[in-house]
Amino acid sequence: MESCNLPPPRLAVHTITTKPWSTEQCIEKYAAAGVGGITFWRYSFEGRDPAAVGRQARDAGLEVVSVARGGFFPAPTEPARREAIDDNLRAIDEAAAAGAPSLVLVCGAVPGQALADSHAQIRDGIAACLDHAAAAGVVLAIEPLHPMYAAERSAINTMAQANALCEALGSGPNIGIACDVYHTWWDDALEAEIARAGAAGNLTAYHICDWLSPTTDFLNDRGLMGEGCIDLPQIGRWVERAGFAGFHEVEIFSGRWWASDQDAYLKRIVDWAEK
Amino acid sequence: MESCNLPPPRLAVHTITTKPWSTEQCIEKYAAAGVGGITFWRYSFEGRDPAAVGRQARDAGLEVVSVARGGFFPAPTEPARREAIDDNLRAIDEAAAAGAPSLVLVCGAVPGQALADSHAQIRDGIAACLDHAAAAGVVLAIEPLHPMYAAERSAINTMAQANALCEALGSGPNIGIACDVYHTWWDDALEAEIARAGAAGNLTAYHICDWLSPTTDFLNDRGLMGEGCIDLPQIGRWVERAGFAGFHEVEIFSGRWWASDQDAYLKRIVDWAEK
């Protein structure tokens, strides 16, 4: 499969991609490999000051792209939904402290709860965070998740739903979409919905990896770019045509790759981008 | 979860649901349990005459609802696509011989092949079978598969795509859709697309089971109705409102249930429908 032909400075890596590494190792290794940006998973801040972590990244020459992840708004009771909002307000603060311009939202779902109810709770949850996000200068980036996660991880499963949600929330400067190819590659509306997001100024982030065939695990069997069946060059052209000029963020959950030599793995990621 | 409140004669069972049973056992046990219809998987005909199998089912008091499955039209080469068409013509003959009014199509996909190319090959493959289906009196029922199967099982992943495909093929009397809740429950266009299929006379079959949360296997971890998160009463109302008056066909792939006592399992299926 043809590569995206991206210059390496446009490549960012999510810390979960190299899960065996500490936060400090991620910063040091990504910078040394010529990666341009880093997205911190919240666990990367554990026992650390997010502001200090952000500073370390920038001092190493990395741009802090985003924090992953907030969301999980739906819950069966009002106190639980309030708690979810409070946790998102804290995540916004962490993102702001780290100097990350955006927070990725995995919106949430409750097994057995009607998806329409979850949609309403997601909309209300995000709405309750928007003023705080604006004050903090953080964009809330709604990430549609693959429909196989609709029962318990996110009731927002297509770019069309994410676009509609952004629009329902006013499409302001603090709301946007993180489009991850893993979740969206199968959708024949993808090109049109990427264009719709771009036209509304809602295309905040672009995540890349690959879909393996067969996939053997629902969570941790994503592929490195080029290993699977996603036409990354084509989707890359769609996001660029939609006006997106941000990082192509590598986010790979993979038990197989996590068990491998992480230096060699990172080299393969960077080599793919430089091809 | 509330049951569909269906009288038992409207319940059909797919032979793969009780995979440990022979074809003869399926016929005998389903009839004894008061199930009204049977859908034969093609493996159920192995070493048997489909006409004789169909006769046995009817003699036992079962209606032969369908044969599963044809399809798998996309392939990288023309000879392989021709071979797929030939196999579908044989499947149509088997369905007709067994007295089944329809053949379910799992349309197929090729890992790494553009989904748009697979769509075209699927359309062409079905088109090449339509005259034969008409002569045999068999409806080809396109089954949209969950997007998690887009890489290798079906490039038709939503009811919207199935509707568009039927319409592109002329929506004649020998083309239709098998709507399976396992593949479609997550889709917020489901109600509208079921209505669209019904209005065009394309709602041929309705398959039921449940989606477990979490799901642990991509193929064989479906739930018995009521075990998971699908709102079957609601979707049942949608298909009925769309004018569908056929069987509610139980199709469950489950290593867990296959390892259990099949008589007790069948009783649970029938009890669910009678609730």
The verdict on residue A3 lying in a domain is no
Q: Give chain B positions within 8 Å (CB) of A152.
A: 213-214
What ranges in A137-202 are assigned the alpha helix state H?
159-168, 181-184, 190-199
For tokens 């919905």, the residue is: A193
Give the CATH number of the domain where residue A61 resides. 3.20.20.150
Q: Does B168 touch chain A (CB under 8 A)?
A: no
Residue A177 lies in a domain: yes
Given an 8 Å threshold on Cβ–Cβ distance, is B186 in contact with A114? no
Assess if residue A1 is contained within a domain: no
Question: Phi and psi at residue A48, in whole multiples of 5°?
Answer: -135, 165
Eight-state DSSP code of residue B218:
S
Gap between the Cα atoms of A37 and B229, Å rounded:
39
- Residues B91-101 pLDDT 10s: 999 999 999 99
| Residue A77 burial by Cβ neighbours in a 10 Å radius (0-12, 13-18, 19+) | exposed
pLDDT over threshold 60, residue A154: yes
Task: Give the model confidence (pLDDT) of B9-60 as tens digits.
Answer: 489 999 999 999 999 999 999 999 999 999 999 999 999 999 999 999 999 9
Tell whether the torsion through CA atoms of A55, A58, A60 and A62 is positive or negative: positive
**B231/A151 CB distance under 8 A:** no
Percent of chain B predicted with pLDDT > 90:
95
- Single-letter amino acid, residue B132: H
Q: Give domain status of residue A2, yes or no.
A: no
ipTM: 0.95
Domain limits for position A217: 8-274
Rounded to an integer, the average pLDDT of A131-145 is: 98
The domain tally of chain B equals: 1
Chains A, B: CB contacts under 8 A, how many? 73
